[in-house]
Amino acid sequence: MNRVDLSVSIGNLHLSNPIMPASGTFGYGQEYAGLIDLNDLGAIVSKAVSPLPRPGNHPPRMVELKGALLNSIGLQNPGIDGFIEKKVPFLQEFSPPVVVNVVGNDLQEYLQVVEALDPVQRVNGFEINLSCPNVQKGLEFGTTVEGVAHITRELRAVTQKDLWMKLTPTVPNPGELGKAAEGEGADALVAINTIGGMTIDAEARRPVLGAKFGGVSGPAIKAVALKYVWLLYEAVSIPIVGVGGIFNGTDAIEFVLAGATAIQVGTANFVNPTAMPDVLHEIEAWLEQHGESNLRDLIGQAHRTQGVATPIQNH
């Protein structure tokens, strides 16, 4: 029995704790099953699923930078059939809710994935990837209010299961995009995805990644993600799942204070395979040390304990 209550609810899903993997950094769970107990997670979020298998981009596809990872995996995945045949039977062995990350080149492809997986038992919800900076065709449905509203409305019409919209970080108006998704029936928002970037090999005088551009993740994007979660919390009432550079319990607590109901651990899994249970234990220890018995009491608390407002210069 936990000494502190870490349980949270997102839409129709009840999570025993707020920790889950960030899509794409945990495969479909198999690689980590020998390292951590998947039943200890609050939820399991899969790597992307698209209608047909995708081979991903040319190598190199991952480069370590200062305080960051740059990847251009290109949403490599086994497609709907491969996911149902090879991944679902494994995921069904575990108790946490399973949320499937969905990608497509156009609206029809997103609908195809959600419609095909909607009847699958133990698929409890969908996380809709509205932006991935390293796919050539550019998943940019997520950059306009109309685009987000449209795709949310269409997907809401084909599933009763939980619908999480994973928003693109590269917009000036996250609150408006969040409201658009909420207005069309999304159960939660997830923020943020990687931020587009590149790196160049000075000796070779060319880009390092095979795909030239990739997505930046890890500690370097934590401040960006925190601000995004903060702005979403001010704009919407549905739960927010925070993600971006979370490496320890204090990082996670910061996201909760900014407004996140749950958090995802991504790049940290590559550095430390037990990052998720470690973060969970550190959250629990933090709450105990601070005399808190319920994580939910902290959600958005920093909005209510801001100091005297002073004009802030952004640059």
Positions annotated as catalytic residues are: 132
Q: Which two tokens stand for residue 159?
A: 């599933």
Q: Out of 16, 25, 57, 124, name the contact with ligand FMN by CB under 6 A.
A: 25
Q: Out of 245, 258, 276, 299, name the contact with ligand FMN by CB under 6 A.
A: 245
- Least Å distance, CB 306 to ligand FMN, is 25
At which residue do the structure tokens 């949310």 appear? 152
When asked if residue 50 is in the footprint of ligand FMN (CB under 6 A), the reply is: no
- Least Å distance, CB 172 to ligand FMN, is 19
- φ, ψ (nearest 5 deg) of residue 128: -95, 115
Stretch of 114-122, 203-211, 265-273, 281-289 contacting ligand FMN, by CB under 6 A: 265-273
When asked if residue 87 is in the footprint of ligand FMN (CB under 6 A), the reply is: no
- Tell me the CA distances in angstroms from 207 to 68, 133, 281, one per residue in order: 17, 16, 40
3-state secondary structure of 217: strand
Calculate Rg over the CA atoms of the chain.
19
When asked if residue 243 is in the footprint of ligand FMN (CB under 6 A), the reply is: yes
When asked if residue 72 is in the footprint of ligand FMN (CB under 6 A), the reply is: no
CA dist., res. 244 & res. 43, Å (int) = 17
Q: Which is closer to ligand FMN, CB of 159 or CB of 288?
A: 159
When asked if residue 148 is in the footprint of ligand FMN (CB under 6 A), the reply is: no
Instruction: Confirm if 76 and 23 have CB atoms less than 8 A apart.
Output: no
- Least Å distance, CB 131 to ligand FMN, is 8
Stretch of 6-14, 143-151, 214-222, 252-260 contacting ligand FMN, by CB under 6 A: 214-222
Helix (H) or strand (E) holding 13: strand 13-15
Stretch of 30-38, 66-74, 86-94, 201-209 contacting ligand FMN, by CB under 6 A: 66-74
With a CB cutoff of 8 Å and minimum separation 6, the contacts of 152 are 128, 163, 165, 180, 181, 184, 185, 186
Instruction: Confirm if 143 and 170 have CB atoms less than 8 A apart.
Output: yes
When asked if residue 186 is in the footprint of ligand FMN (CB under 6 A), the reply is: no
3-state secondary structure of 271: helix
The residues that touch ligand FMN, with contacts defined as CB under 6 A, are: 22-25, 47-48, 69, 71, 73, 75, 101, 129, 166, 193-194, 217-218, 221, 243-246, 265-267
